[in-house]
Each structure stands twice: as C-alpha cells, then as structure tokens.
Structure 1
Amino acid sequence: MKIKYIAILITCLLSASLFSQTNLNNYKYVIVPNKYEFLKEADQYQLNSLTEFLFNKCGFVALMEGSNYPDDVTKNRCLALKSNLIKDSGMFKTKLSVELKNCNDQVVFTSEMGESREKEYQRAYTGALREAFKSIEALNYKYVPNANNSVIASQEVETKSEVSKEIQQLREEIQNLKKEKEAVVVEKVEPKVEAVKEVPVEEMVVKEVSGTNTLIAKEPVNGFLYAQAIDNGFQLVDSTPKVVYKIKKTSIPDVYMVEGKNATLYKKDGNWVLEYYENNVLKQEELNIKF
C-alpha cells in the first residue's frame, strides 16, 4: 500500500511540474521589480540585478521594471510574467522563493524555497536566491507562442484603434464647440449700431435770465447716443462708435454727473438734458439717448 501511495504522489508531482512547465513556456518575458518589499532600497545587495541575470540564464527574456519594453509586450502585457521574491522567516536561515504572476495577477508558479546559513546579508540573500532558481532551471524553459496570446494581442490592438477613433471624434467635437462658442461671443461683444442720419444743427437759442447776467443756451440734438453699462453708471457712445460722455449715478433718480466735465445730465419732460456752465454762461443741451 505504501508503495502505491508513493507512486501516486510521484505521479502528481510530475504532472504538476509538467503543467507548470507548459504554462511557463507560453510566456516570453519576465518583468523583474526594481525593489523587493522586504528590503529598504532599490536593488539592495544587487538582488534584483541577480534575479534578472538568473532568469536570462534559464532562457527567459528578463526585463527590469520601468525599462524600455519591446513592442510585442507593450501591446500585449499577457506575454510577460511578473516576478517577486517571497521571504520566509527563520532564526538561523535566510529563506527565499521565486513567485511568478500572470497579467491577471494570478500566481502561475512558485519555486522551491532556497536557503542559506550565511550570516552576512549579501551572501545570505544571493545564496538563497541561487538555491531557489535551481527548481526553475530544472524546468528547461523554452518559449512556445500561445495562440490565445495572439488573439488577446489582436483584440487589444482593435480596442486601442477604436479608442483612438473615439478620442479623435471627441477632439473634433470639442473644436467645433469652441468655434461655435467663439462665434457667439464675438456676436455678443461687437455692438450692432444702426447707421443714423445726421440731423442738421440748428442755430443756438439764447435766452436772458431776468435779474441776472447769466445766459441759458439751449442746443438742439445732433444724432443718437447709445448707453453702455459701466461701473456705477454708463458710457454714451455715438455711431462711430466713440465714447462721448461717461455718466455716474447719483442718489436722485434720472440724475447723473458727467465724468471729467462740470456738468449734470437729467431727465426733463421725457427728454435728457445736459446742463453745464461755459464762460459763466449756463448752457442746456438736449441729448437723444438710447438705454
């Protein structure tokens, strides 16, 4: 009975070994990390560099993490395995095993535990790593292309092509929206001023104010002025367009102070009147203002 159990155990181990070998043969690359979690620095004790060297020695194409990857693995990451070292705690031994995961983060292979009794860290880690790689070397790895990987690569290329087309379409739509928005802004910013026929200037009417030496001059309207809102008031522009006056609000409704001019603008009998002194003469000028 014991011989029978031993035979079954040996058969299972051989099957597992052959299954692992077949699986590993379908992967072309192994990506080696720059730093292992149980160490403080990148490539401490040259352990990562040694890992890369030993994988290449076993027939793999080892790639250091972050280096320039070949085009085929860039297009299809499932061609590569990710390697890692697992450290087992021990009082008098340094124990390491090599773990390999596929692109789906599934463990596809774990080497036998390599051991070292060296006390100096450099020798202990490198010795344990070399012992662990003996079980990988025994697999006699040789890359065999997998049809599934080719299909995955083709699907990834098609997906990237579709994504690129969608991105290009989105860019074109964004550019069109920007152009439409700019057109709307320009249309809003540029004031459309109707051409206004000039009204001939009539002669000034001068009246004498009884009891004073002050004369009131009343001037007729000459064209239209258009009110554009500014801080605390409006600016009045003509059809050029040119800013003729800037007026500021007061506490009295329909009464404005004229900026830069000792004058007042107010509404009287439905008309806007500009009133100011010139050479001690009080003048009034009716303005046609469109608010």
Structure 2
Amino acid sequence: MKTKFFSIILTCFVISSVFSQSSINSYKYIIVPERFDFLKEKDQYQINSLTQFLFNKYGFEAVIQGSDYPEDLIGNRCLALNSDVTKESGVFKTKLKIELRDCNDKIVFTSKIGESREKEFKVAYNLAIRDAFRSIEALNYKYEPNENITSLNTTSKSQANAEVSEEIKQLKKEIQNLKKEKEVVNEVTKPKVGTPKVAKPKAKTVVQSKVSETPVIQGVSNVLYAQAIGNGFQLVDSSPKVIYRIKHTNLKDVFLVEGNSAVIYKKGNDWVIEYYSGNTLEQETLNIKF
C-alpha cells in the first residue's frame, strides 16, 4: 500500500516537473529588475547582476529591466518572463526564493527556498541565491518557440500599426484644423475699407478662444522617470506626478504621446519631444530615465 502511494506521488511529481519545464521552455527571455524589494538600492550587493548572470549561465537570455531590449521583445513583451527574488522570514538563516511571472502577472515557476547561515548580508544573499538557482538548473531549460506566444507578436504589431495610423490621421486632422483656425483669425483681424477700427476687440476675442482650445505641451527640464504600463510607459516627475503617457510604435525609441499631437524619440543620447505650436514645429529636450 505504501509502495503504491509512493508511486502515485512520484508520478504526480514527474508530470508536474515536465509540465513546468515545458511551459518555461516556451519563453525566450527573462527580465531581471534593477532592484528587488528586500534591497534598499539598485543592484545592492550586486544581487541583481548575479541573478542575471545565473539565468544566462543556465541557458536563459536575461536582460535588466529598462535596458535596450531585443527587437522581438520590444514587439512582444509576452516572450519574456519577469523574475523576482523574495526574502522569506528566518531567524538564523537567510532565505530567498525565485519567482517567474508571465506578461499577465501569472506565476509560472517558483523555486525552492535557497538558504544561508552566513551573517554578512553580501555573502548570505549570494549563497542563498545560488542555492535557490539549483531549481532553475534542474529545469535544463532550452527555448522552444510556442505559437500561442509568438503569434502575439503579429497581433501586437498589427495593433501598433493601427494605433500609429490612427494617430497620424489625428495629427493631420488637427494640423488642418489649426490652419483653418489661423485663416479665420487672419480674415477677422484683416482691416477692411470702411470698417471702423472698433472691430479690433472682436478679432482679439476670437484669437483667445481659439488658442485656448489648442492643446499646449510644456517642456520638462527636471528628470522624468519611465514606469511601464500596458502599451508603453508613463513619465512621472519626482512628486510623483504623471507628466506624459507614451505608447510604443514599430520604430525603435519612438513613442506617441497620449492625448497630444506629439512624438517622443531618441536623438543621439537625448530624448526629444516634437509637436506643433500653431504651424510651427517645436522641439524640446527631455531628461528621461528608463
């Protein structure tokens, strides 16, 4: 009886292990955050760098969050698993656990708890991480493209193309409206023969009402921090206050500004926002930290 029960448990474990490995193999990349929640600073004790190194060591392609992503990952974020390392409570031991989540924030894999009895944080974290990575090593990871995931690339590109086309149409429409408004204002303010100069205040009133309807984009001189959202990023200042929401396009380092007729793109080492003020194309440099 005991032997039969043990056999059932062993069979379930093997099936679970194979299923986990199969699902892990469907993902091409691992995204490692710049800082784990149990640490106070980015890459403190080089734990985040070590995590990236160990993922690469065991066959994965790991990238640090906010770095330059490969083209296929930019087009399809679901190709990657988001990694996290959490600290478990322990009196005499340092205990760390690795979690992998998909693009829908669903947990795909959880490692065994890595432990260390060392008292110095740098040594203890290092040893506990390496101990937890034994579970990752045991997966024998090898990337195997999954149509259910890779097909999202085509879908996301189509959606991005549709969004870009719609934004371009909207930009053209707004530019045409601005030209018409300017023509109306010029026509009203143009002096006519026999028309008394008293009519000038009306022209001034028309200009003010038209200008107030045109969206105004103000440059930002302080640092803006990029926070990932569903289809792009939101740029916040140190308050934190959301200054812009920007959307991905099919072009690298080019974003559409939500709610404004503007684009943000990388020019050399600088980020530039470009928009129309009347019929004049304006450019301003932004200090963005991704």
Report the TM-score, using the length of structure 2 for normalisation.
0.67
What is the SS of the residue equivalent to 1:145?
A: coil
Residue in structure 2 matched with residue 251 of structure 1 by the alignment:
none
Matches within 5 A, 1:2-151: 2-151=2-151
Q: Partners in 1 of 2:29 and 2:151 — Cα distance? A: 18
Amino acid at match of 1:186: N
Residue matched to 1:186: 186
Matches within 5 A, 1:152-167: 152-167=152-167
Q: What do the CA deviations read for 1:228-277 (whole angstroms, capped 9, x no partner)?
A: 2689xxxxxxxxxxxxxxxxxxxxxxxxxxxxxxxxxxxxxxxxxxxxxx
Q: Report runs of 4+ in structure 1 exceeding 6 Å deviation.
A: none
**Which residue type is aligned with residue 226 of structure 1?**
P
Write the letter of the residue equivalent to 1:154: T
Deviations 1:92-117 (A, max 9, x none): 01111110000000000000111111
What's the secondary structure of 1:192's corresponding residue? coil
* Distance (whole Å) between structure 2 residues aligned to residue 168 and residue 227 of structure 1: 41
Partner Cα separation in structure 2 for residue 184 and residue 12 of structure 1: 76
> What is the distance in 2 between the residues matched to 1:42 and 1:28?
25
Indicate if the aligned counterparts of 2:115 and 2:127 stay in contact, CA closer than 8 A. Answer: yes
Pair member with larger Rg: 1
C-alpha displacement at 1:123, in angstroms? 1.1
Identity between Structure 1 and Structure 2 (%): 50
Partner amino acid for 1:187? E
1:228 aligns with 2:186: no
Q: Structure 1 stretch 145-154 or stretch 24-33: which is displaced more?
A: 145-154
Gaps of 5+ in 1: 195-224, 232-291
What amino acid is aligned across from residue 198 of structure 2 in structure 1? Q
Q: How far apart are 1:144 and its partner, in Å?
A: 0.4
**Alpha-carbon spacing, 1:84–1:193, altered in 2? closer, same or farther (3 Å):** same
- Using structure 1 for the length normalisation, give the TM-score: 0.67
d(CA) in 2 for partners of 1:226, 1:181: 23
**Alpha-carbon distance between aligned partners in 1 of 2:32 and 2:196, rounded to the nearest angstrom:** 75
Give me the CA root mean square deviation: 1.4
Counterpart in the other structure of 2:250: none
Q: Greater relative contact order (Cα 8 A, min sep 6): structure 1 or 2?
A: 2
Deviation at 1:175, TM superposition (A): 0.9
CA distance in 1 between partners of 2:188 and 2:200 (Å)? 16
Higher helix share: 2
Taking the aligned partners of 2:150 and 2:130, their CA distance within structure 1 comes to: 33
